[in-house]
Amino acid sequence: MLYNGGMKKFVIIDGNSLANRAFYALPPLSDKNGTPTQAVYGFATMLVKAIGDIKPDYIAAAFDLAEPTFRHKLYDGYKAKRKKMPDELAVQMPILKEMLRIMGIKTVEKAGYEADDVIGTLAKRSGAQNYILTGDRDALQLIDGATRVLLTKRGLSDIHVLTEATLKSDYGLTPPQIIDYKAICGDQSDNIPGVPGIGDKGAMNLLNEYGTLDGVYAAIDSVPARVGAKLREFRDSAYLSRTLATIDTAVPIDAAIEECGYTFPFSADVKNFFFGLEFKSLARRADIFADAGAQANPAQKPPCTVKTLFDLPSVAAAASEGGKRLAVFIGDTVNLAGGFATEYSVGTSYSLLDPGLVFADIIAALKPVLESKETLKIVYDAKSLKKRLDRFGCGLENYSDVKLLRYLVEDGADYDGAAEFLNGFGVPQPEPATGLLFIENELSAALEGSGMHKLYYDLELPLIEVLYDMERAGFKVDLKKLTELGDNFAKRLNALRDEIYALSGFEFNINSPKQLHKALFEDMRLPYPKRGKANSTSADILEPLADNFPIVRKVLDYRFYYKLSATYVDGLKKAADDSGVVRTEFRQTLTSTGRLSSAEPNLQNIPVRRDEGKLLRAAFVSREGNLLVSADYSQIELRLLAHMSRDEKMTRIFNEGGDIHISTAAEVFGIDPSEVTASQRRAAKAVNFGIIYGMSDFGLSTDLGIPLYKAKDYIEKYFERFPGVKRYQEDSVKAAKESGGYAKTIMGRTRRIHELFSPSYNMRQFGERAAMNMPLQGSAADLIKIAMLDVFNALKGMDSRLILQIHDELIIDAPEREVERVKTILRTKMEGAVKLSVPLAVDIGVGKSWFDCK
């Protein structure tokens, strides 16, 4: 907050300048109708920041008009070289002014004058402490004891506060000298001529020596001859330029400061405006809005408090009337709300706050409505709520999950919990259930507009039941086997530690990155990679050294075994219950591609590349009398690439049942498939999967350990043989850019790729790679989820249970008598999950352990 000496504070905004700054600082944004909106969004963001920093009593925004000003009449060339406002920005100006109208912020403009003149006039007669928010240095001449300039620099948040003192120290000029400076050296942006031949340095020298333009001409005979000659020749131009550069502070405008009051926090109308333009991050900031519920329905009473269990079932039933919708929020207390929420206006709202009520009794009383298939329950994080209710013998049927809705609609980072989620939407703390109704309304409408309605209702929402059941079932581990593995890993760790100490000649903490860096790169003087991050001992730093320095290879091996022992062996033993069952948590709302993740413990990250890591899978076993049945999609992303790229050669290979890696090797190396060696197939496999992820020739050369030119040759030959793939990648990037940065999967899942419009080349390259591979990775995620849901439904009535999904693999714990039927279900449902132009293929394995299934 800026100190103002106790005066009233007046923020005066240069509307065109801020809109222009926002337009070029942000990537393209648009509303659901395709109208550009980034200038409006950026303007609003800067305005909100200014309000928060300054806490002004008054605000006004000045705008230019399209018609000529008095300066144009004085000089035909004034601003003659300035480019016309881009159409994409011009279309946003009426929207921006409408936003200010809804905010109650006064806009001021005057025919024949520029916004600078309006700003200067408002500032000089305000009687307040003025803060001029602009990106135009012309305003610096207005600085005085009552006026500061907040000069926008880079982006939206870099603001430089200038007073008389800081102007002098930063620019070497006083406010009036700003005018005379332009009079001498001119201004290319406004096409102010100045004195030709005298530039920035010359103008500064003259003003430092003689103070003002008048002072310069009064002492013209003492000015160096060459400069003096130019000043004499262009005297009229200098004084015309001074007139053009001088802001008129006496514009005839009817805008008293008393008319520039405003209301903050903003009203519900502003929130609605933000939601209408899809400015969700602004709309959900609780700190910038008044209690929307109180404004939308000031007569609404606070939630009723239920104090007797006798009335609770009828209360819940009443709350769900008028559409059979009941919002249920269960935290430390229970809050219910029914009806249709519009800005928190709700038909009925009840809280269970009486400390005398027993939580278990509350759940029992609510059980009929929670388990009702007639009433739609609006909840946050349905899977977690189902687990909580299950402890009280209560189920949850027919629900909509706002957490899942928000994940699809906003494609953003996950919230830590319900409180943070509700706060992000600006929900008043006493009425969480009422807020859930409002949020569900908003997100459902946005879902329809995004085209993901089917994805939500047909796939993601019913998948909650599948994941809930999988978490309840868990995966049994052989604790004795884990202990044996742990003992073996411990012996290997001890041996590696001794070998590392022998090679280094001294002891140190191998697990300490700081000590390890000192040991390797300072004490032993190993060459540190030039491209590496300073003082790092990460794998990408150490791996290139491993072949030449045995100690580095042993350090990497030590880390591998340490992770196996600490993270997996010890971690799984701690996570297992008394019967040896490990239950992971499947997270549905975390990844940007739609893939599931696993946590506490993470069962999707079990090592598979080395034999020792694979042995961990031997510790995952079936239950007594059962077998594990594993079904893994074969090359799913490459099959999706063939389908989506429509590449004729790749499609034919899959349709003829060929080995895509052998066929690719034959194409790239120009040999018959029968001649392809194992190393050539391995190289082709790296190329195939590298293409999906947009791997560069440098990345491929590193991955395969081959020269850069050879990697480049591999990629070029690949695209020559599979031209449809190259065309698909180019079309994917083009489509994402034209849509405003969106990539889509086969199920319509969308991801916003902001990096496509980054000013950073590296970030734009990342964005292009994401635009290429997100449709493939996301479609693979959609496909395995479809298969999970179909398999789960097919298993109903059987004793077999789906217990794990990991990448493209499903695992079922099945009684031996049901194994053949389970294999048939897996193959049928997985291979028939979607219809592609190439067949889906599934590899199925059976065994007592996960390791045996491969």
Give the C-alpha separation, 556 to 539, whole Å: 8
Instruction: Spell out where 30-109 has E strands.
Output: 58-62, 106-108
Which has more pLDDT, 180 or 69? 180
Given a cut of 70, whether residue 776 has pLDDT beyond it is yes
pLDDT at 541 (0 to 100): 86
For residue 604, the tally of other CB atoms under 10 A from its CB is 17
Whether residue 292 is predicted with pLDDT greater than 60 in this model: the reply is no
Consecutive H or E run containing 376: strand 376-379
Among the residues of 564-707, which ranges form H helices? Answer: 571-575, 611-615, 636-645, 648-655, 660-669, 678-692, 697-704
| CA–CA distance, 629 with 639 (Å, rounded to integer) | 23
The pLDDT score that the predictor gives to residue 687 is: 85
Q: Compute the distance between CA of residue 332 and CA of residue 708 in angstroms, rounded to an integer.
A: 60
Integer CA distances (angstroms), 285 to 292, 432, 505, in order: 12, 16, 59
Collapsing DSSP to helix, strand or coil, 133 comes out as strand
Q: Which has the minimum average pLDDT: 374-383, 422-431, 738-747, 786-795?
A: 422-431
Contact 230/196 with Cβ under 8 angstroms? yes
Residue 304 Cα to chain centre, angstroms: 39
Q: What is the pLDDT of residue 35?
A: 80
Q: Residue 1 — pLDDT band, cuts 50, 70, 90?
A: very low
Give which of 324, 391, 482, 460 is closest to 778, Cα–Cα.
460
Provide φ and ψ at 60, rounded to 5°.
-140, 150
Query: CA 363, CA 387: separation in Å to the nearest integer?
Result: 13
pLDDT for 429-445, tens place per residue?
667 887 888 788 878 87
Stretch among 73-77, 290-294, 309-313, 453-457 having the lowest mean pLDDT: 290-294
**Strand, coil or helix: what is 285?**
coil
Least-confidence region, from 343-352, 360-369, 613-622: 343-352
Rounded mean pLDDT, 210-215:
88
The CA distance from 368 to 394, in Å, is: 9
Residue 680 binned pLDDT confidence (cut-offs 50, 70, 90): confident
pLDDT digits (tens, 9 = 90+) for 728-759: 999 999 998 888 788 999 998 988 887 787 76
Most confident of 45-59, 85-99, 836-850: 836-850
Query: How far, in Å, are 13, 128, 420, 562 from residue 47 at the CA level?
Result: 9, 19, 24, 52
Q: What is the pLDDT of residues 318-349, one digit of tens each?
A: 666 655 778 888 877 777 777 655 444 455 55
Rounded Cα gap, residues 841 and 651, in angstroms: 14
The torsion angles phi and psi of 734, rounded to 5 degrees, stand at -60, -45
HEC profile of 317-357: HHHCCCCCEEEEEECCCEEEEECCCECCECCEEEEECCCCC
* Residue listed under structure tokens 């019913």: 462
Q: What is the pLDDT of residue 155?
A: 58
Q: How far apart are the first and last CA of the chain?
A: 64
Q: Residue 349: its pLDDT value, please?
A: 57
pLDDT tens-digit map of 533-556: 667 888 878 888 888 899 999 999
- Quote the mean pLDDT of the chain: 85
Q: Tell me what pLDDT residue 335 has.
A: 78
CA nearest neighbour of 148 among 18, 160, 125: 160
Rounded CA gap, 651 and 43, in Å? 50
* DSSP 8-state code for residue 840: -
Separation CA 813–CA 819 (nearest Å): 9
CA 265 remoteness from chain centre? 27
Instruction: Look up residue 484 and give its two tokens.
Output: 């044996």
In sequence order, what E strands does 114-185 have? 129-134, 147-152, 159-162
> What is each CA distance from 677 to 638, 669, 674, in whole angstroms?
21, 11, 9
pLDDT in tens, 476-520: 999 999 999 999 999 999 999 999 999 999 999 999 989 999 999
Whole-number Å distance between alpha carbons of 199 and 202? 5
Q: What does the pLDDT read at residue 365?
A: 81
Supply φ then ψ for residue 413, to 5 degrees.
-70, 155
pLDDT, average across residues 405-426: 73
pLDDT at position 301: 44
Instruction: Compute the distance between CA of residue 726 and CA of residue 723 in angstroms, rounded to an integer.
Output: 5
Structure confidence at residue 464 (pLDDT): 97
Q: Tell me, what's the pLDDT at 582?
A: 95
**Sequence-distant (≥ 6) Cβ neighbours of residue 643 within 8 angstroms:** 651, 836, 837, 838
Q: How many CA atoms lie within 13 Å of 109's alpha carbon, on the beta-carbon side? A: 12
Can you give the pLDDT at residue 85? 80
Range 767-785 average pLDDT: 93
Neighbours of 655 (CB within 10 A): 12
Residue-level pLDDT at 850: 93
Q: What pLDDT score does 298 carry?
A: 31
CA contacts within 13 A on the Cβ side of 23: 18
Q: Is the dihedral of CA 417, 421, 424, 428 positive or negative?
A: negative
Percentage of the chain modeled with pLDDT above 90: 39
CA distance 572 to 568: 6
Reported confidence tier of residue 843, pLDDT bands at 50, 70, 90: very high
Q: Is the pLDDT of residue 585 over 90?
A: yes
User: Is 305's pLDDT higher than 70?
Assistant: no
Query: Which pTM was predicted?
Result: 0.67
Give residue 156's pLDDT. Answer: 62
Q: What is the largest CA-CA distance in the chain?
A: 111
* Cα radius of gyration rounded to whole Å, the chain: 34
